[in-house]
Amino acid sequence: MNDAKTELGQKILKIKKQKGLKWADIATHIGYAPVWTCAACLGQMSMLPETAAKTAALLGLSDDEADILASIPYRGSLPTAVPTDPLIYRFYELIQVYGTTWKEMIHEEFGDGIMSAIDFDMTLDRQPDQKGDRVKMTLSGKFLPYKRY
């Protein structure tokens, strides 16, 4: 369902490497956050047409490819229910181990509802540590309470 977006994402990864670009470079060029920019280029977000045109110009993509960047995706990019890539699997493992804890603590603090993945921000930073650098991720999603009738 996401074949065109997935194929374009693979092409963008190759171009990004050839040009020596980082996601932060592309993000600065188009005026969006690096995490969102990466997700959009890999097919999980839809760009505004003018943003898609800027991205296409930077990366040397065609007008048709810019249209693909602007199209609404079928979200969800994992090829299997349980991911096999070790890095992605660790996130799955985090949910298995801490998912019920996160749910309980969010409900305790906010009540019955969910954290939005639509009205959502995420940052990723390198945190120096004497035992080896750490990955620091900050997730921020709007709380959406369930309606009560």
Which residues are annotated as catalytic?
A: 90, 93, 116
Q: At which residue do the structure tokens 């120096």 appear?
A: 128
Q: Compute the distance between CA of residue 119 and CA of residue 101 in angstroms, rounded to an integer.
A: 22
Q: Compute the distance between CA of residue 14 and CA of residue 41 in angstroms, rounded to an integer.
A: 12
Enumerate the H helices of the chain as residue ranges. 3-19, 23-30, 34-41, 49-59, 63-70, 86-110
Q: Give me 86's structure tokens.
A: 């070790």
Neighbours of 108 (CB within 10 A): 8
Q: Which amino acid is at 133?
A: D
